[in-house]
Structure 1
Amino acid sequence: MTERASDVSASPPRRRNSYTIAPLTLVSANVVLFALFFVWPAVIGLIYSFTNYTGVGPFQFVGLANYKNLFGDSSFYDALTRTLLYTVLVVPLNFVFSLLIANLLVSRHAKGKSVARVVFFIPWLISPIVVGVLWRWLFGENFGLVNYVVESLGGHAIPWQSNADLSLGVVVMAGAWTGTAFSMLLFIAAIKNVPASYYEAASLDGAGPWRQFISITLPSIAPTSFIVILLNTINAMKEYPLFVSLNNGGPGTSNNLLVQYIYQTGFSRGQIGYASAASFILMLILMAVAIIQLIANRRMENR
């Protein structure tokens, strides 16, 4: 009896050890991967940003020379300005479209909602390169479907690619279209979590659909709205494949975003150290955007 009692008393620690080892193993694997593929490259990039490294051969430390030259580079400011403009345009457009579609798909009067969700989610499954090619085929100046329709109706071909503003507008529409699907799913989940009793009480008080949306839906999904805006802002400021496949930053370099500027500087010109400095400036901007949005979100929650 004493031996059995001792065996029974000894089993819980073993179970606790097994329950502890498994999570630690999984967490440690993630930590190793994070350190290997993020921390270590970031440290190397930070070191390179203080050097004149060209990708081959030895390098010399130049201190803050790369950062000083960067802040005097007009091409860097042009790319940064275009990146901010693209972000300011595409994020609100994506927010409005995804929220509108989500409200339509959760409506009790909507039919074929399951099929519609699949159709609206298809853009998210397509590679950004493919999305760029599709939209380039639609808005090409000499071969695009849109200009073909315009000319068939007696109009003149629109310079979608040779006009910088029109070219940026096409990319904004393509970016909003491809990013709407993921935001839509987040909004659908958030709207479904709003208690139905809120809407029933509002209906009894005579509130219409628009008043219910403004007074109930929007405040209830505020945390999800914050996540959607934050993720879309970060993704927009890091956009690269869509621009490359659609207009390659054209016409010329007028629509080069910051990531394109970093890529061309580092790999086309061989200025790895200079490009590393630009990439760290982009990282600081993204961190600042995230911190500002977090502070704004906390203030809204504390009201």
Structure 2
Amino acid sequence: MAVTATHTEVSRHDKKKTSKLKKPIAAPFILIVPAIILYAIFFIWPAAIGLYYSFTNYKGLPKYKMVGLENFVELFQDQAFWSALLRTFEYIICSVPLNVCLSLLAAVLVTNRRAIGSSIAKVLFFLPWLVSPIITGLIWRWMFGEGFGIVNSVIESLGGQPLHWATNANLSFLVLVLAGVWAGMAFNMLLFITALKNVPESLYEAASLDGANAWQKFRAITLPGIAPTTFMVVLLGTINGIKEFAMVQALNEGGPGKSNRLVVQYIYETGFSNSRIGYASAASMVLLVILVIVSLIQMWFNKRNEGK
């Protein structure tokens, strides 16, 4: 009888243990279910619809038909698409390095022990991040307006000739790059501030004992120490540059003409202005593949550098 009672108690103890082990597994799953549902509704389902429409001639009307790969064949032969894609990569090549350098410079300045008013500087640097992309575009459009812009007013007051910021393709592109850097610098600065604070202070002290100057410390200690953050900033900047739309639309609408039209603007105009939703969906799928390839390449370079 004693053995049976002991066996029963052990069985109950095992059941309690099993139930305790099951609870931590079930609870996190229940918590992530809403996130999974939202992700499926707002990301997976639209992507699936876009992929389906990319094989059709859908124009927003109930009647449409499957066209197979015709949209993709036409897209790869469309000079306007390649022109928009090329301008997008030019925008990334110009804006991302400049954004990284200025963000890092701002982070170094506000984290310097000798800096005065660093708290106020952080707030001022962060203000552009609080402004929506559309408002950013309007602000810079007002600043660089040819007939009413404050920049041309300053140039004229100094005795110079006003510049054609809106009608010259290269000048308009320059304004676009500067506006993009100004808008994205704040968030990247915060990432760099966190990374700089995580670099061990002992390394700088050891370097000082060895007689290293400020530049040598920055090159040999700071840059390697913040390399993962730098990679993340470059990756996010590249992806955001490829997806840039609202700011460009508000700033110059891809002008003058179509000279500064980026790829997302091309997709928007094709799908909504020209009512070729199937064709625009095909362009979106190509853009998705490009984003994945760019991300994989950058991750491969990052892993390669970490392995050295």
The answer to whether TM tops 0.5 is yes
Residue in 2 aligned with 1:250? 255
Residue in 2 aligned with 1:200? 205
Structure 2: give runs of 5+ residues left out of the alignment. none
Residue in 1 aligned with 2:233? 228
Instruction: Look up the equivalent residue of 1:151 and give its one-letter code.
Output: E
Change in 2 beyond 3 A, CA 1:118/1:14:
farther
| RMSD of aligned Cα (Å) | 1.7
Q: How does 1:125-136 map to 2 (within 5 A)?
A: 125-136=130-141
Is structure 2 residue 57 aligned with structure 1 residue 67? no
Residue in 1 aligned with 2:275? 270
Instruction: Look up the equivalent residue of 1:135 and give its one-letter code.
Output: W
Residue in 2 aligned with 1:238? 243
Inter-partner Cα distance in structure 2 for 1:99 and 1:168: 24
Shift in Å, 1:21? 2.5
- Which residue of 18, 22, 27 corresponds with 1:22? 27
Inter-partner Cα distance in structure 2 for 1:88 and 1:121: 23
Deviates more, 1:195-204 or 1:150-159: 150-159
Instruction: Look up the equivalent residue of 2:287 and give its one-letter code.
Output: L
| SS of corresponding position for 1:226 | helix
Inter-partner Cα distance in structure 1 for 2:21 and 2:148: 67
Shift in Å, 1:22? 2.2
Shift in Å, 1:282? 0.7
CA deviation map 1:221-256 (0-9, x unaligned): 111111000000000010001101111111111111
Number of matched pairs: 303
Shift in Å, 1:18? 3.6
Inter-partner Cα distance in structure 1 for 2:69 and 2:228: 40
Residue in 2 aligned with 1:191? 196
Q: TM-score, normalised by structure 2?
A: 0.94
| SS of corresponding position for 1:249 | coil
Is structure 2 residue 299 aligned with structure 1 residue 290? no
Q: How does 1:45-194 map to 2 (within 5 A)?
A: 45-194=50-199
Inter-partner Cα distance in structure 2 for 1:143 and 1:252: 20
Inter-partner Cα distance in structure 2 for 1:160 and 1:15: 68
CA deviation map 1:144-192 (0-9, x unaligned): 0000111122221110000011001001001001101111111111111
Change in 2 beyond 3 A, CA 1:210/1:66:
same
Inter-partner Cα distance in structure 1 for 2:31 and 2:127: 32
Inter-partner Cα distance in structure 2 for 1:5 and 1:109: 67
Shift in Å, 1:30? 1.5
Larger radius of gyration between Structure 1 and Structure 2: 2
Deviates more, 1:211-220 or 1:149-158: 149-158
| SS of corresponding position for 2:264 | helix
CA deviation map 1:176-212 (0-9, x unaligned): 0110111111111111101000000001111111110
- Which residue of 39, 44, 49 corresponds with 1:44? 49
Q: TM-score, normalised by structure 1?
A: 0.96
Inter-partner Cα distance in structure 2 for 1:70 and 1:17: 52
Inter-partner Cα distance in structure 2 for 1:147 and 1:15: 71
Shift in Å, 1:119? 1.2
| SS of corresponding position for 1:63 | coil
